[in-house]
Amino acid sequence: MSGSMKVLLTGATGFLGEYLLAELLERGHSVWALYRSESRKLDTIRFLSSLNLPRSSESLRWFKGEILDASDKWEDWCRECEGLEDVDNLLHSAASTRLHMDETGEPLRTNLGSARVLRKLVERKPMNVHLISTAYVCGFINGLSMAEVNHPRGDFVNVYEESKWESEQLWMGDATLLRPAIIVGHSETGRCTSFTGWYILFQAVHLLDRLMGEDAGYNRRDLNINIPADAAGTTNIIPVDYVAKSAVRLIENPENHRKIFHLTHPAPPTHEWTLDLICRRFNLGGFRFAGAGAPFTQPRNRVERMVWRQMQTILFHFSNNPVFERTNIDRALPDLPVPPADEALINRLLNYAIERDWGQSGH
């Protein structure tokens, strides 16, 4: 580590952002955290307190504002927040994770808009810039190996991935690009605050299990449902704590600046392995992989209609199976282990999600 950094962190109250904040504080850096919501800020403060962080009153300063105002409001923020004018690193984690465009223009409005605004800001206030992107900026890829390079525009699975690719283009060569895979809960506790994406399949199966328990007329071991995906394909999930640890360690070393890193799992679970775990955990059967592009079994009853609606939102995640090379990150962080994506981890993640009713319980 080259010494203590003075970091401007955006998105500090988000799921990944609060782990980045904790890791920065744990490793002795000073952080200026931009936030919008008082309630989210209080939740993050409680989270930090559970880790006995921060350990110094000078190590964390909060300031309120909108990321899209960063360039116009910078001088005002500096007057209001002591020491902000001295930050030397920008870690940009704030993002809209919407997969489809809404009426306000999200996620492009926030993701691409913030990249443009911060570009203007850094022209006036030079900083080392580090962007949290996504490994899936490669677009729709089936089974091919993706290197840690700038990818040409592809066929994107959703607008979120496209917005991240567009943002990368604005900063290519001038910022560190940190590309995590699909972020899931903490590897040791299972803690998560956003049960979307990868979690949706498991939530659907959990609901199916409960519905089955209420209706003895269904044969839960012979559901006869085809899944239009390749059994050997993989879903690259990565625990949030690994993403935070690797991101902070990478930006601490100036030799890593302005490079591209895949914060991905080197041995992600296959769809076949995941389905087997699901069937054993929930005592279900009759699911079959029919191959990418095959027709999805049309629903015949209320249970299948529920599963069908849930599956429609994540089918592309199952058919999009890139293999992510890790040359740069393995060279930069050879001693940082990746938590194994094994049955113990998956069950830990599911236990946490179910205990909190998939984020509906308010815990």
d(CA 117, CA 279): 47
| pLDDT at residue 203, as a whole number | 87
| Count of positions (residues) in the chain | 363
Domain extent listing, the chain? 6-190+236-266+322-339, 198-232+270-318
d(CA 310, CA 306): 6
Would you state the structure tokens that stand for residue 243, as one six-digit string?
């993403």
| pLDDT at residue 96, as a whole number | 93
Q: Name the amino acid, one letter, at 272.
A: E
Class level of CATH domain 6-190+236-266+322-339: alpha beta
Residues 6+ apart with CB under 8 A from 9: 17, 20, 21, 24, 31, 32, 33, 34, 91, 93
Please tell me what DSSP assigns to residue 234: B
Do residues 305 and 223 make contact, with C-beta atoms less than 8 angstroms apart? no
Element (H, E) at 246: helix 240-252
Do residues 325 and 239 make contact, with C-beta atoms less than 8 angstroms apart? no
Q: Name the amino acid, one letter, at 284.
A: L
**Torsion-angle region of 224 (φ positive above 0: left; ψ -120 to 50: alpha; else: beta):** left
d(CA 298, CA 226): 9
Q: In tens digits, what is the pLDDT along the chain, a chain of 363 residues?
A: 558 999 999 999 999 999 999 999 999 999 999 999 999 999 999 999 999 999 888 899 999 999 999 999 999 999 999 999 999 999 999 999 988 899 899 999 999 999 999 999 999 999 999 999 999 999 988 888 999 999 999 999 889 999 999 999 999 999 999 999 999 999 999 999 999 888 988 888 888 788 777 666 667 888 777 777 888 989 999 999 999 999 999 999 999 999 999 999 999 999 999 989 999 999 888 888 888 777 766 777 776 676 666 666 566 667 788 999 999 999 999 999 999 999 999 999 999 999 999 998 654
d(CA 118, CA 145): 31
Asked whether the bond before 107 is cis by omega within 30 degrees of 0, the reply is yes
Residues 6+ apart with CB under 8 A from 337: none
Residue 1: strand, helix, or coil: coil
Do residues 265 and 240 make contact, with C-beta atoms less than 8 angstroms apart? no
pTM confidence score? 0.94
